[in-house]
Amino acid sequence: MPHINVRDLSRVRTITAVLVRHGFSQLVRLAGLEVEGEPVDVKLPLARRLRMVLSDLGPTFVKLGQVLSVRPDIVPPDVIAELSLLQDQVTPASFAAVTTILEEELGGALSERFSHFEEIPLASASIAQVHRATLLDGRTVAVKVQRPGIELAIRSDLHILYSMASLLAGRLELPGLYSLEDIVAEFDTALSTELDFLQEARAALRFAESFAEHPDITSPEIYLEYSSRRMLVMALLDGESLSALLGRGGAERRLSEAESKVVMHRVMEATWQQVFEHGFFHGDPHPGNMMQLSDGRLAFLDFGLTGRISREMQDVVMTIFTGLVFQDANTVAMTLFRAGATESAVDLKGFRSEIQRLMTKYHGASLRDLGAQSTLTELVGIAARYRIRLVPEYAVLARAVSLIDGLARELIPDVDIVEEVRPYAMRLMGQRLSPERISGDAVRGLQQAQIALQDVPLQFNQLLLDLERGNIRLSTVDPEAAELRRAIHWAGLRLAVALCAASVVLSGAILISVWAPAPFGIPLMALVGIGMLLGGGFLFSALIMHILVAERIHPREWRRRALGLLRFFTSSHRE
């Protein structure tokens, strides 16, 4: 079990104080930690208090909130709405500290690579900040550099999160499909990717390669020879972010109605190609990560979060998309059911009814009339409620689509979104029913059948050998057998204790009846009889207590908690 290091105790106290202040003292108690301070805002909605906790705890926890805000399969819609408001705009690090990191990554002075480097950053976030610079050959670039000490701070917070998740295991049950330890592990994976700028560079290069021939969609050129794990150098594009063109931040120019339609259709076209042709998509396409360039092209920025989908997953998304557009609830329900994993029986009739209700809400309505969630996000949420566990890529894709849906609400709010995407569904149907696709699927099916048939003789021979050697055993499983065995076990134990107690009491009574003084005038047999009566009474009492409270006693759980607490203190002492 992970333990909390002594050097992290101060940070743990800060975390617990913030949790208590925002009304989560019960969570602190469940973790076995000391509750300090008094709550001040327990009347606020839980989702808002959770956002305030993450915001107060700094960069790691803000990032945790942002990661959870793209996972509708983990957190409910009201929490997603609050977490989407988390901002990580922070005070920039000093230029001297940034210079130290840059020179460590470059292996030399800034002047050896840059003729000019602006000290004031263009943007500053919790993990990195971006500076304008000029290379020695005159090219203007944007340099993304990791904040000093941020990786060490994040690793420390992650260690605390793992420890607290372990302490809460078995004490706090989440309503979704994931445990606290699962959530922390997924967050660790996502954050490790974001801390490695070379992974972001590779994702950006893959996106650029996919759209190299597209006349209207692009991304910044990446200069790998200048980039490293903590520094990313890319071309500085000439244009305005969609966030500014939508009137955010007091921008003077806004998109006209005609420009808005053009931009939205380019976003939709880019999404189509990423999902259904390239199998690789931008996972965070909000307006701040897209620019309209001076030549009219649409540019995608920041590839810290991306998703990949296999051919099989593309078929699933294609089926769901066309099923939604053409109102085929049964196909959508069965496709989601087959694509996910379940641990118990699923009410398919209820699941299909929920999807039908969702379709009815979206068809014929404009974006202005609909709620804040996108269709795919709601679908993932419905699947989670019916205990259907989808792979994380589906949830990331659903969240990406919800961001595009939100952009559409600002650009084309009065449009029926179903009719707007119908041409794309028709294209999908045409591709899926094309002779090339059908022949390709047929060839793949024949190849798989051929491989399966080739394996049949070998498998049959193995079956005969196992039968000959007696390696095959047939068994049946009765779901109630374990409970029956348990009942028989306790009944036998109680009967044995009852017989033992009865025999002890009877023997004691017989011995007391012979009240004859033994040597030295002491009635030894009578004293033994009294002792046996007391022992029998104790056994009877234990039997009664066991019958009354046996269902409430879980020795293994108490032993697990005691050992965990012991390891926690001994490990902390060794640190």
* C-alpha span between 286 and 62 (Å, rounded): 17
* C-alpha span between 143 and 114 (Å, rounded): 11
DSSP string for residues in 512-573: HH-----GGG--HHHHHHHHHHHHHHHHHHHHHHHHHHGGG--HHHHHHHHHHHHHHHHHHH
Residue where a domain terminates, one of 433, 453, 473 = 433
In-domain check, residue 415: yes
Task: Give the DSSP letter of residue 289.
Answer: G
pLDDT of residue 133: 95
Residues 348 and 415 in one domain: yes
Instruction: Quick: pLDDT tens for 101-137.
Output: 999 999 889 999 999 999 999 888 888 899 999 999 9
Give Cα 151 distance to the centre of its chain: 21
- Note whether 303 and 207 are within 8 A (CB): yes
Residues 428 and 527 in one domain: no
Q: Which positions ≥6 away from 129 have C-beta within 8 Å?
A: 92, 93, 98, 121, 123, 144, 145, 147
Residues 389 and 313 in one domain: yes
When pLDDT is cut at 50, 70 and 90, the band that residue 573 belongs to is very low
Residues 314 and 429 in one domain: yes
When pLDDT is cut at 50, 70 and 90, the band that residue 310 belongs to is confident
Question: 237-246, 279-288, 298-307, 356-365 — which is least confidently predicted?
Answer: 356-365
* C-alpha span between 152 and 296 (Å, rounded): 42
Give Cα 392 distance to the centre of its chain: 7
Instruction: Quick: pLDDT tens for 471-500.
Output: 777 666 666 666 777 777 667 767 776 777
Q: What percent of the chain has pLDDT over 90?
A: 17
pLDDT of residue 564: 64
What are the angstrom distances between the C-alpha of 350 and each of 341, 361, 363?
17, 17, 20
In-domain check, residue 338: yes
Of residues 510 and 354, more confidence is placed in 354
pLDDT of residue 1: 46
In-domain check, residue 238: no
* C-alpha span between 38 and 417 (Å, rounded): 48
| Range from 42-51, 161-170, 287-296 that averages highest in pLDDT | 287-296
In-domain check, residue 458: no
Measured over all CA atoms, what is the biggest interatomic distance in the chain, rounded to whole angstroms? Answer: 118
In-domain check, residue 445: no
Residue where a domain terminates, one of 411, 433, 455 = 433
Q: How many domains does the chain have?
A: 2
In-domain check, residue 248: no
Of residues 432 and 318, more confidence is placed in 318
- Write the secondary structure of 262-286 as one string of H (helix), E (strand) and C (coil): HHHHHHHHHHHHHHHHHCEEECCCC
Q: State the sign of the Cα–Cα–Cα–Cα dihedral 217, 219, 220, 226.
A: negative
* C-alpha span between 52 and 39 (Å, rounded): 13
Residues 421 and 502 in one domain: no
Calculate mean pLDDT across residues 151-171.
81
Q: Amino acid identity of 414?
A: D
Give Cα 394 distance to the centre of its chain: 11
Calculate mean pLDDT across residues 208-217.
93
Residues 427 and 322 in one domain: yes
When pLDDT is cut at 50, 70 and 90, the band that residue 85 belongs to is confident
Task: Give the DSSP letter of residue 114.
Answer: E
pLDDT of residue 249: 55
pLDDT surpasses 90 at 381: no
Work out the mean pLDDT of the chain and round it to a whole number. 77
Of residues 553 and 163, more confidence is placed in 163
Residues 528 and 428 in one domain: no
- Note whether 224 and 191 are within 8 A (CB): no
Residues 313 and 393 in one domain: yes
When pLDDT is cut at 50, 70 and 90, the band that residue 572 belongs to is very low
| Range from 288-292, 361-365, 396-400, 408-412 that averages highest in pLDDT | 288-292
Question: 221-225, 235-239, 300-304, 398-402 — which is least confidently predicted?
Answer: 398-402
pLDDT surpasses 60 at 273: yes
Token pair, residue 14, equals 């800060």
| Range from 253-267, 408-422, 443-457, 552-566 that averages highest in pLDDT | 253-267
Q: Which positions ≥6 away from 371 have C-beta within 8 Å?
A: none
Residue where a domain terminates, one of 394, 417, 433 = 433
* C-alpha span between 494 and 508 (Å, rounded): 21
In-domain check, residue 332: yes
pLDDT surpasses 90 at 351: no
pLDDT surpasses 70 at 98: yes
In-domain check, residue 78: no
- Determine the structural domain holding residue 339 and report its residue range: 309-433
Calculate mean pLDDT across residues 216-220.
94
pLDDT surpasses 70 at 461: yes
Q: What percent of the chain has pLDDT over 70?
A: 71
Residues 495 and 408 in one domain: no
pLDDT of residue 91: 81
